[in-house]
Amino acid sequence: MTTMTSTAPAFASLFDLSGKVALVTGARTGLGKALAEALASAGADVVGLGSRPMPETSRAVAAQGRSFHEVVCDLEKPHDFHALVADVVARAGGIDILVNNAGIIRREDVLDYTEADWDAVMTVNLKSLFQLSQAVGRHMVASGRQGRIVNIASLLSFQGGIRVPAYTAAKHGVAGLTKLMANELAPKGITVNAIAPGYMETDNTAALRADPERTRQLMDRIPAGRWGAPQDLATAVLFFAAPASGYVTGTVLPVDGGWMAR
C-alpha cells in the first residue's frame, strides 16, 4: 500500500510572506483595505498609503498580528516619491511588495469632459503609479530584494467603456506599463503583474449601483451574476506577491466573475 505524505506545509510556504513588507496605496477603504488585509494574513507587515487616515485598515492588519504604518499622501499633488520611499524604508525596514491600488474616477460625456478632470485622473491613476514604482524599484534593486509589484488595472484596460475617458486611458496605460516594467525589471529579480477587477462593490461604482437599470444590464452580462467583493482579489494578490511566483511576470489577470468571457 502506498502511503500518501501530506504536502500541506510545503504548499502553505509557497504563499508565506513572513518577514516581508508590503506598501499598499489607496489602502483606506474598499479594494486597498482588502488587499492590505490579505497580505497581512499571509504574514506581511503593511504600509498603507492613503489621502486620509486609515484607522479601519490599521485595525484589520493588527487583527492579523502584523504591524501597520500609515502614510497620508494625496496623490493628486506633486510629490518627491524617492523621499517618500526613503521615509517608508526608514520606518518599516524596507519594501518587498508594492501594490499600486490608488485610483479615482470622474464621469462625464466625452464631449463635455474637462481638462481638470482629465489631469486629476491621469495623475493619480497613471503618473503616480509610474513614479512610485520607479522609486520602489530602485530601492528593491539597491537592497537586492526579489521584489513584487502588483498594479490594479481594470476591465477598461481591455475595453473602452462610456463616460470615463481619462479612466479608460489611464487603465490602458497601467496594462502597458505593467508589461514594460516586467520586461526591464525581470533580469533584476523583480516581477510586475496586474489585477484587472471586474465590477466591484467600491466607492468608484456607487453611482452605477444606485442606478437599477444599469445594475440590471451589468448583472445580465456577468456570468457569476453578482458584483465583486473586495475580498475576491485576495487570492490574486497573494499569488502575484508569493515568493514562489518568480517566473510569473507581465501578466494582467482579470478577476471579473466571467465578464471578459462573454
Catalogue the active-site residues.
167
Pairing of strands 252-255, 68-72: unpaired
Q: Which of 97, 205, 111 is nearest to 155 (CA)?
A: 205
Alpha helices in 42-123 (DSSP H): 55-63, 81-92, 115-122
Q: Name the packing angle between helices 81-92 and 128-142 (round to 10°).
A: 50
For 22, the 3-state DSSP assignment is: strand
How many Cβ atoms sit within 10 Å of the Cβ of residue 168?
21
Distance between first and last Cα of the chain: 47
Assigned C-alpha cell, 119:
489631469
How many Cβ atoms sit within 10 Å of the Cβ of residue 141?
14
Using CB atoms within 10 Å of the CB of residue 136, give its burial: 0 to 12 exposed, 13 to 18 middle, 19+ buried: buried
Using CB atoms within 10 Å of the CB of residue 139, give its burial: 0 to 12 exposed, 13 to 18 middle, 19+ buried: buried
Q: Name the DSSP letter for residue 17.
A: -
Compute φ and ψ for 239, nearest 5 degrees.
-60, -50
